[in-house]
Structure 1
Amino acid sequence: MEKSLLAVGLMMLLGASLYLNNTQEVSDEIDTANLYANWKMKYNRRYTNQRDEMYRYKVFTDNLNYIRAFYESPEEATFTLELNQFADMSQQEFAQTYLSLKVPRTAKLNAANSNFQYKGAEVDWTDNKKVKYPAVKNQGSCGSCWAFSAVGALEINTDIELNRKYELSEQDLVDCSGPYDNDGCNGGWMDSAFEYVADNGLAEAKDYPYTAKDGTCKTSVKRPYTHVQGFKDIDSCDELAQTIQERTVAVAVDANPWQFYRSGVLSKCTKNLNHGVVLVGVQADGAWKIRNSWGSSWGEAGHIRLAGGDTCGICAAPSFPILG
Structure 2
Amino acid sequence: QVLLPRASNGVFTCIAPPFAVSLESGGGMRRSKFLLIGAFAAARCASASDPKAVTNADRYESAFEDFIRHFGKKYTDAERPRRFAAFRANCDVIEARNAQNKSYRLGITAFADLTPAEFAATYGAPASLEPRLEGMADIPLLGMELIRNLSVPASVDWRTQGAVASIKNQGQCGACWAFAGAAAIEGAWKIATGQLVSLSEQQIVDCSGKYGTNGCKGGSIEGGIAYTVHAKLTNDASYPYSAKEGTCQENHNMIMIPEGGVVGYKHVQPQSDQALIEAVAQQPVAVAIEADQTIFALYKGGVLASDDCGEKIDHAVLVVGYGTDKGQDYWLIKNSWGETWGERGFGRLARGKKGGGQCGITATPPSFAVVDGSKAKPIDIRATLIAAAVAAGVLLLTVLFCCIRSRCRTGSQRAPLLAQDSRQSRVAPAPAALQIARPAGGQRLGGAQGAQGGGSRLLQQASQQPSAPSQA
* Partner of residue 167, structure 2: 136
RCO higher in 1 or 2 (8 Å CA, sep ≥ 6)? 1
Tell me the CA shift for residue 156 of structure 1.
1.9
**Alpha-carbon spacing, 1:44–1:218, altered in 2? closer, same or farther (3 Å):** same
d(CA) in 2 for partners of 1:67, 1:259: 11
Q: 1:306 aligns with which of 349, 352, 356?
A: 349
Residues 293, 26 of structure 1: alpha-carbon distance in 2 compared, 3 angstrom cutoff: closer
**What residue in structure 1 maps to residue 367 of structure 2?**
319
Larger Rg over CA atoms: 2
Q: Which of 138, 146, 159 lines up with 1:126 in the alignment?
A: 159
SS of the counterpart of 1:166?
Answer: coil
Q: 1:1-324, aligned counterparts within 5 Å?
A: 28-47=56-75, 49-73=76-100, 76-95=101-120, 120-128=153-161, 131=162, 133-221=164-252, 224=255, 225=257, 226=259, 227-235=261-269, 236-255=272-291, 256=293, 257-268=295-306, 269-284=309-324, 286-309=329-352, 310-316=357-363, 317-324=365-372
What displacement does 1:286 show? Answer: 3.3
CA distance in 1, matches of 2:228, 2:181: 10
TM-score, normalized by length of structure 2? 0.56
Conserved? CA contact 1:98–1:145, under 8 Å: no
Q: Displacement of 1:25 after TM fit?
A: 11
Which amino acid letter does the alignment assign opposite residue 34 of structure 1?
Answer: S
Contact 1:98–1:142 (8 Å) recurs in 2? no
User: Aligned to 2:276, what secondary structure does the other structure show?
Assistant: helix
**1:58, CA displacement in angstroms?**
2.0
> Structure 1 100/292 Cα, relative in aligned 2: closer, same or farther at 3 Å?
farther
> Residue deviations 1:275-301, cap 9 Å, x none?
100000110453110011111121111
Residue 32 of structure 1 aligns with an amino acid whose one-letter code is Y
CA-CA distance at 1:32 after TM superposition: 0.8
- TM-score scaled by length of structure 1: 0.80
Unpaired stretches in structure 1, ≥5 consecutive residues: 1-23, 105-112
C-alpha RMSD over aligned residues: 2.8
Give the Cα separation in 2 of the matches to 1:214 and 1:44: 24
CA contact (8 A) 1:99 1:275 kept: no
Q: SS in structure 2 opposite 1:136?
A: coil
Identical residues among aligned pairs (%)? 34
Q: Report how far residue 72 of structure 1 moved.
A: 4.6
Q: Which amino acid aligns with 1:84?
A: T
User: Following TM superposition, by how much is the alpha carbon of 1:103 offset from its aligned partner in structure 2, in angstroms?
Assistant: 11
How many residues are paired up?
286
Q: What CA distance in whole angstroms lies between the structure 2 residues aligned with 1:282 and 1:298?
A: 19
**By how many angstroms is 1:237 displaced?**
2.0
Letter in 1 for 2:107: E
User: Which amino acid in 2 is paired with 1:265?
Assistant: V
